[in-house]
Amino acid sequence: MATVVVMGMGAMGSVYAALLAGAGHQVHGVCLWPEHARAVAKAGLRVYGASGDRTVRLASVGTQVPEAHLVPARGVDLVIVASKSFDVTAAARAVAPLVGPHAVVQAIQNGIGATVDAA
């Protein structure tokens, strides 16, 4: 089981979070919208589409990067940065303290240059 942080719980981030949580991974979601974060924490994350209709529970969801005590001492295994292109640098910096030595950081924005900003 991998420990995953999804930075950005909009359309794309929510799909990734739901698929990974549904596969048994420990997923922590970070969302800018407090209402969405509260709804997901209370009722689970529901997504539907070509891959089906599912509601999953995340390990945590909130408007801030998960606190260090919520993730393993080794750090997280995967970070998905699903923010708008202009927020990639800030999102990557915010989660950097939780990134483990062998972690994968995946930026999933539309636009040019977002992956360079994340690096």
**pLDDT at 110 exceeding the cut of 80:** no
SS3 content of the chain, % helix, strand, coil (to 5): 35, 30, 30
**Which domains are assigned to the chain?**
3-118 (3.40.50.720)
Tell me the mean pLDDT in the region 12-22.
95
Higher-pLDDT residue of 42 and 107 is 42
Q: How many CA atoms lie within 13 A of 100 on its CB side?
A: 16
- Percent of the chain at pLDDT above 90? 48
Whole-structure pTM value: 0.85
State the pLDDT confidence band at 115, using cuts at 50, 70 and 90: low
